[in-house]
Structure 1
């Protein structure tokens, strides 16, 4: 059985000559199911209603997401590139913009000249001070040309930033048996990228040493100390001589040790502290006495360990990590010791 096309009954066709052409199409067979034209017409009627705005909103959200991904993808490599091309030697600046690292270096060099003078050679000091002083400053910068002073071990202590162009840089130094401070006002010419001492420095007393609180001594493993003494004496002899082959006999598997190569000689193992509890791995504190070279020209047949070449003695403390394998102990690590007890 055939049925007439539903298009012919659509009231819209009657008033539209273009749509009325569809009425000439032959009827589709009656399959008992909705035809493709009917499905298309029904979908078109639905999407033309309230659902189309959801499509446009979805498209807008999708495009916004794509734009964010693209922008981030372009920006990330650019930021990495600019960071990699930032000069590695760029000087750190304070929160106020004063270049503290460069300013401190300038102040240290100035202090090394300023704190050393000799009344027998005043012009020498004046010439060395000139690169640090402002134009028109007194050549000796406050010294009357008499007396003598020497100082060394000049190190940074602190920086007080006044503003982006001015700071007071404090240094610590050693003069004779005194540790003292020197505060130096420094001006930074930002346009010329230059520094100058902006006023008279001030010498101040350095803080006294801190009070070290007493520390209880640990319980000692006497048996392990006796067992380790001879192997460690032999180890430190090889360590002083820099005997690579001997050192490797005392080193744990995979550990490479280097010694002093004769710069010191082994005198004695003064103290050995092995704390409890016991175990196959122990942290051992050793106090070693080294022989310091005398500085004299050695005899042609002298060896680094020749006692006649020792000019003095120096005690040093070391922390060793020892590992026991079978009946033998091996050195896994050697470094400076922690604070002592007492």
Structure 2
């Protein structure tokens, strides 16, 4: 007696034809050619197999039993949904993975560099240096020393207060304003020329000053007794009426000022200067010198006559010479070798001044001025000396 579906379900027995269906499915799977893994969606394949199982079960039951096949249950919907992998979320996941791997690679490189490359020792800080002392106030030291030299070497026994007042202005308070003078005689200072400033120690310096003096003639009622001359001893030369003497004056910087610290010392004045170096003279262009001689002569005649505008190039400004200077003549003119519309040369000129003739040296700049019908050379600049 065949069992019904409910009884087989209670007893756990398979439905008629179920074993044949399983064998058929196994055989179909064995004979079926597997599709490439990249083209198969596992979720879709599982859904298809479930549909096949549900559709094959009623058929097998109908062949095994003569009773009518029960109505198939409605096909249930798949418990999942297919998602298109070409969405923005897939790109975001790939981009995030790329950033993460890049960060990992960077950390690995930094770690390898720290292991393989030795760390450089930190540079030692520069040694602390004291604040650089400001330069010595040379200009102020020269001015103070010049005022002191004028007051120190000027005296008049009839007016001692003038000298004392001049010294008090450049000496520390309470200093002896009669220093170095016995209160007799008279002497005038005609010129003062401050020179080199040599700093020493403790904000002190030594200032060289050259002074042009004119001593007054001594007036005596009785001649001094004649001293017997020592045989072979030459008599000392008489001092000229006007002459230069040198002073070295000590100064110090204090309380924002420079003052004289004490008595100076008289020093000698060199009779000649040092030997000058050998200077290379420019090469002369004899032809151009001859060509422009009259131009230079006309310029110096106007230069001494007070009117240079007519003999200078357009735009050039050359003030005329002072009144009292008379031109004697251009002693020589030599143009330097060169090319172009701007040339230079050296001129020697003789003037008459205060009843005497004196020769002067100039460097002349010439420029070529062109007009509609001609061109000529004119003076564009003039400088004294050959430097």
Q: Describe the shift of the 1:254–1:38 C-alpha distance in structure 2 as closer, same or farther (beyond 3 A).
A: same
- Separation (CA, whole Å) in 2 of partners of 1:219 and 1:43: 81
Query: 1:198 and 2:261 equivalent?
Result: yes
Match of 1:189 in 2: 254
Farther off after superposition, 137-146 or 217-226: 217-226
- Separation (CA, whole Å) in 2 of partners of 1:102 and 1:248: 42
Structure 2: segments with no counterpart, 5+ residues: 1-39, 44-79, 111-131, 215-241
Match of 2:327 in 1: 266
Query: 1:286 and 2:351 equivalent?
Result: no
Q: 2:294 aligns with which of 226, 230, 233?
A: 230
Aligned residues: 260
1:108 is paired with a residue of what secondary structure?
helix
Match of 1:40 in 2: 92
1:98·1:166 contact (CA, 8 Å) conserved in 2?
no
Deviations 1:49-105 (A, max 9, x none): 6717959xx9xxxxxxxxxxxxxxxxxxxxxxxxxxxxxxxxxxx946643333332
TM-score, normalising length: structure 1: 0.60
For the pair shown, the structure with the greater C-alpha radius of gyration is: 2
2:319 is paired with a residue of what secondary structure?
coil
2:321 is paired with a residue of what secondary structure?
coil
Cα RMSD after superposing both structures:
4.0
* CA-CA distance at 1:210 after TM superposition: 1.6
1:51 is paired with a residue of what secondary structure?
helix
- Separation (CA, whole Å) in 1 of partners of 2:245 and 2:138: 21
Deviations 1:264-284 (A, max 9, x none): 332322333345578865433
Query: 1:156 and 2:195 equivalent?
Result: yes
- Separation (CA, whole Å) in 2 of partners of 1:30 and 1:96: 83
1:266 is paired with a residue of what secondary structure?
strand
* CA-CA distance at 1:238 after TM superposition: 1.4
Runs of 4+ in 1 over 6 A off after TM superposition: 1-4, 213-219, 277-280
Match of 2:18 in 1: none
2:251·2:259 contact (CA, 8 Å) conserved in 1?
yes
User: Counterparts in 2 of 1:22-41, with a 5 A limit?
Assistant: 27=81, 29-30=83-84, 33=86, 35-41=87-93
